[in-house]
Amino acid sequence: MADESPAEHASLDYDAGVITITLQRTEKLNAVSDEILAVLDRAVTTLASDDAARVLVIRAVGSYFTAGIDLRGELFRAMREPSEFPGAHFRRVYSSLHRLFDQIEAVEKPVILAAQGPCLGVGVELAASCDFRFASEEAVFGLPEIKLGALAGSGGTGRLSRLIGPHWTKWIAVAGQQVSAAQALQIGLVHEVTAAGQLDQRVGTFVNHLIDLPGEALGLAKLAVDLSTDSDRHTQRNIERIAVTTLFGRDEFNRRVSRFENPSDE
């Protein structure tokens, strides 16, 4: 079989403020390759730097969202290279994944993941770094790394614990158990589950909703939530006060308040 073209691993589309990444390495169950990571990095950089970019959607085609990291890819091979200090070497190479997921979490614009099928390993870590997660009823979620004598080391314990708590994180990351889409909804891993074939339509509707919201307020709201998660109650209140006073009096705020008070003027 001929070698895959890197350009075929994932596509990147940018239209009307929406950046869409589609994993399409279907013959490899969308195993995350270096090329896919490069596309993700490019998309997040564009989202952060381009004022016209409003939302990033990460989706896939085929039977799997992703089967996890490509064990034959350059990144994984680099992790296993002989070294006098193998642990330090592994952490240094693996830090590229940490940086990417940190960027997704930090960008002051919404990032959506839509899993149409099984989402495993690094896919769950990617999902945990996103702001909104949608799933088809055919999706399942799991971290199989423990079965290899390893662990999901780029958010599979830390981010996941913040998202769904240690109780369910231990079930998934320590016991290596998979959860169905329905269970993922129940424990807070995803926001919504759709019927098979309706995922893209539902995500599209949600994207349009986000684009209709004021971009500055949306970004500050995301930032405030993330900062408050790691803060005490007093600091949380100050974060909210700073964010709100930054928005009050802006032209966008005044226009929307006026429209709300005088709906007949529209």
Correct CATH for 6-212 of 3.90.226.10, 3.40.50.720, 2.30.110.10, 3.30.43.10: 3.90.226.10
How far apart, in whole angstroms, are the C-alpha atoms of residue 191 and residue 216?
Answer: 23
Please report, for the chain, the start and end positions of each structural domain, with discontinuous segments joined by +.
6-212, 215-265
Q: For the segment 116-146, what is each residue's pLDDT rounded down to a tens digit? A: 999 999 999 999 999 999 999 999 999 998 8
Q: For the segment 158-183, what is each residue's pLDDT rounded down to a tens digit? A: 899 999 999 999 999 999 999 999 99
Which residues, listed in sequence order, are joined to residue 232 by a DSSP beta bridge?
Answer: none
Name the band, by pLDDT with cuts 50, 70 and 90, for residue 1.
very low
Return the structure tokens found at 244: 């709100």
Sign of the Cα pseudo-torsion (76, 78, 82, 87, in order): negative
pTM of the model: 0.88
Strand ranges of the sheet holding 179-180, from the earlier edge strand across to the other edge: 119-120, 140-142, 179-180
